[in-house]
Each structure stands twice: as C-alpha cells, then as structure tokens.
Amino acid sequence: RLALLNSTVAGCRVCCKSSWAQLRDLCRRQRLQCRALGVTRRNLAHFEVEYLCDYKRVRDEEFYLVKWRGYPSSSNTWEPRRNLRCRGLLRQLHQDLARAPGGGAAVRPGPQGLPPRVSSYLVQKAEQRRALRHWELHLNSTRSHTGRIVVENEVDLHGPPRDFVYVNEYKVGAGVALSPVAAGCECRDCLSEASGGCCCPGASRNKFAYNEAGQVRIRAGLPIYECNSRCRCGAECPNRVVQKGIRYDLCIFRTADGRGWGVRTLQRIRKNSFVMEYVGEIITSEEAERRGQVYDRQGATYLFDLDYVEDVYTVDAAHYGNISHFVNHSCDPNLQVYNVFIENLDERLPRIALFATRPIRAGEELTFDYNMHVDPVDAESTRMDSNFGLAGGGLGGSPRSRGRIECKCGAAACRKYLF
C-alpha cells in the first residue's frame, strides 16, 4: 500500500511515495509521534523484527541477534528474549537450527553465539525465505486466475528460479500466428441444446465435453471445443471451463527426494475437474529443434509438442510459463492432458489442459505423465500423443535427442526410465 502523507506533527512534513511501514520507521527513527500512522508514545520504541540470525546464552539468559526491518545488517543488535514479541520468528529460528548443517541437538550456543557455519545457514535461510515471499507476492499480483499461489522451501537453500516469467496465456513466438475465431453459437442453454448439434462442439462434429458441474465427461484423446467470445451464451455457460482459469489454491514446493520443485494442491479436487493449463511460448518445430540442442547441454527442457494433427508447433515453458512449469512427472499421475479449442480453431494450435483423473486430496502433489500415450477411442483420438520433453526437478534430455533418463517418481508402477 502506498501513502501520500502530511504528518500532523508540528514542524514535520513528509510528502513521499512510501509504504506505511517505511513511514512508521521514519517516525520512530526521528522519535516523532504520528496519530495517522499509529505511532504513539507507548509504541515509539517498537521496531519490527525482520528475522533472527544468531542465538546465544549468557548466564542462563537467552539472547538473539536481530535483523531489523528497514535497516542494514550493520545495525543488527543482540536482544534478550524478554524484549522480543515475535513468537513465529523465534519458532522458525529453532526449526531452522534443527535442520542446519552441523546443527540440531548437538549445538550448544555459548556466550559468543552459534558456530559460524550454523549462524551463516540461519542468515541464508532467512534471506531465502524473504526472496521466496517476494516471489510469491509477484506471482499472485501477476496471475489472472482466482486460485492463489503459495511458495514453500523447507528442504534446501534454492530460491526463486532465474529467468522465469509468469504468464497467464500463450506467448506467441516468431513465425506463429493465431487466427481469432470468426463465429460462435446461438444457444441460450448450451448444455440442453448440445444434443441437437448446434453448440460449438456440435458445429465441429464433436461431443459436448462437460457435465452440469463442469467436469469433463469425454475420454482422453477427444478434443474439447468450448464456447468463445462470439457465442451468445454468457459467462456462466457450462461450456466455459478452461477459459475461466485455475480456481484451486496451489503450492509450489521444493521436493525432498531430489525432484526439484513440485506443485501440490491446497484444496480437495474432484475427479474429472479442470486443474490448470500448460502455458508457455508457442514456437515452430524448427525453433524447437534449435532450442532442444541448447537445453540438452543445460540438462533441462520444457518442450511440449502440439502434435494433435501434425507436428508443426511446440510450447516452450522454459522461460515463459505458469504454475504448470513446476509440475513433476509420475508414471501413475493424477492429471490427464486434453486438447482444447476456444478462441482459435486451428487444430495445429490447441490449448493444453490438465484434468484430474481421480479425486485428489488437499496437500497431495499434482503430476502428469511426461511420456503419456492415449488409448485410441476412434480415428480422431489417435492423433493425440503427447511428446513431452520436459525436465523439471533435475531431469535432463530433450524431446528429440536424449539418453535414457532415470525416473524418480516413486510410483509402485514406475517404468524406471522417463524416456
């Protein structure tokens, strides 16, 4: 929140673009009271603790080295436990201390503080947590969907990924053109009128994909045609599901088994419900070939071939993507890929939607099969074969030239190799 403030204190006028916290700190540093900011004589000496970075005992009394919010590390001070009103940060420090290299019950803080290696870890962990919190705020200010994003890493010191830009829809690359849809349906009630073949799916001689609850009811491999911006129906039409975006609260978290980042749901998800789209930059297959060679050398790639009818375009989510960028592979996944058409009906450029294959519990990790093959339903469905050369969580390779990649999914039916 930004404030334009004229202080009510005589002789003090502050006109600036600052946060309320910054203005309160300014008042306290100048020993000034301000009714508008809630800085009174009783709390004038109260400063906000950003994090705790060391711990010692002196004559059976606990002291903590405090990093004050808004002040450099050179202003850190040792404070007795009785002066601190930050129970959450105190609890967090002792949790971090238990996980620190060389930490745990064996560490006995002395009058000078913790061993340098341990105190250094506490500072790194606090700085990492701050960076992840800022990234979480950025993700939530960027997203256009209702589902909230949470970021957690209680495993290692990895911070936000570099060179990753969160996008809500496809970014169109060079040599790719999306043609807007030219017509829409005239239905008043798309679900009830779908049997007559007049709605968008029927116009393309396909089945209506959803039930009244918005759950997919067609088999994987068949395309989904949703109503578009030219349709007569409104925003509550049951044939508008994927276009409404992610509606579940999801968490990007660091896995403890060497698979890098992963995604888990914070809410229960019903079977056949839409969960998220796979979003990234649409590029030509020729460009994908070139990038794949570069990604091979880097040991990671996020290339998803759009080969519903022919292999002409690829989605690259390495630098531009949404939360699906962090979803891991599993040989026994709980998400299934569907090809979806809404505002663009070019069959070479489907949107890639992920639906739940079964009920998913809150707290469960979301996964899909990077090497899935859809069982044929009819001639139409055989077109879908997701060639997905993706390497989140430390898996290497590219969709066109790769060695055998060991699978780390841990499923009972694991194929042992990803590709």
Q: Are 21 and 100 in contact (CB under 8 A)?
A: no
Does the annotation flag 53 for ligand binding? no
Does the annotation flag 237 for ligand binding? yes
Q: Please report, in angstroms and rounded to a whole number, the separation of the first and last CA atoms in the chain.
A: 49
Single out the catalytic residue among 225, 302, 320, 370. 370
Q: Give the span between the Cα atoms of 218 and 210, in whole angstroms.
A: 8
Is 320 annotated in the active site?
A: no
Angle subtended at Cα 343 by Cα 380 and Cα 301, rounded to the nearest 5 degrees: 70
Q: Give the span between the Cα atoms of 250 and 299, in whole angstroms.
A: 27
Does the annotation flag 34 for ligand binding? no
Phi, psi (5° rounding) for residue 222? -85, 140
Instruction: Work out the burial of residue 148: count CB atoms within 10 Å of its CB; fewer than 13 is exposed, 13-18 middle, 19 or more buried.
Output: middle
Does the annotation flag 331 for ligand binding? yes
Q: Give the span between the Cα atoms of 338 and 222, in whole angstroms.
A: 7
List the helix and strand counts (H, then E) for the chain: 6, 19
Does the annotation flag 329 for ligand binding? yes
Q: Say which residues have a Cβ less than 8 Å from residue 404's Cβ, sequence separation at least 6.
A: 417, 419
Does the annotation flag 233 for ligand binding? yes
Does the annotation flag 27 for ligand binding? no
Q: Give the span between the Cα atoms of 219 and 221, in whole angstroms.
A: 6
CB atoms within 10 A of CB 366: 26
Nearest CA to 279 among 351, 222, 348, 343?
351
Q: Are 9 and 34 in contact (CB under 8 A)?
A: yes
Interaxial angle between packed helices 87-99 and 116-142, expressed in degrees from 0 to 180 and rounded to the nearest 10: 120
Does the annotation flag 261 for ligand binding? yes
Q: Give the span between the Cα atoms of 279 and 283, in whole angstroms.
A: 12
| Distances in whole angstroms, Cα of residue 102 to Cα of each of 113, 175, 407 | 14, 54, 31
CA 398 to chain centre: 23
Q: Are 197 and 187 in contact (CB under 8 A)?
A: no
Dihedral of the CA atoms 263, 264, 266, 267 (nearest 10)? Answer: 120
Does the annotation flag 12 for ligand binding? no
Single out the catalytic residue among 278, 302, 308, 320. 278
Q: Are 209 and 255 in contact (CB under 8 A)?
A: no
Does the annotation flag 86 for ligand binding? no
Is 278 annotated in the active site?
A: yes
List the binding residues.
Answer: 185, 187, 190, 199-200, 227, 231, 233, 237, 259-261, 328-329, 331, 370, 407-409, 414
List the binding residues for S-adenosyl-L-methionine.
Answer: 259-261, 328-329, 370, 408
Q: Which residues are catalytic?
A: 278, 370
List the binding residues for Zn(2+).
Answer: 185, 187, 190, 199-200, 227, 231, 233, 237, 331, 407, 409, 414
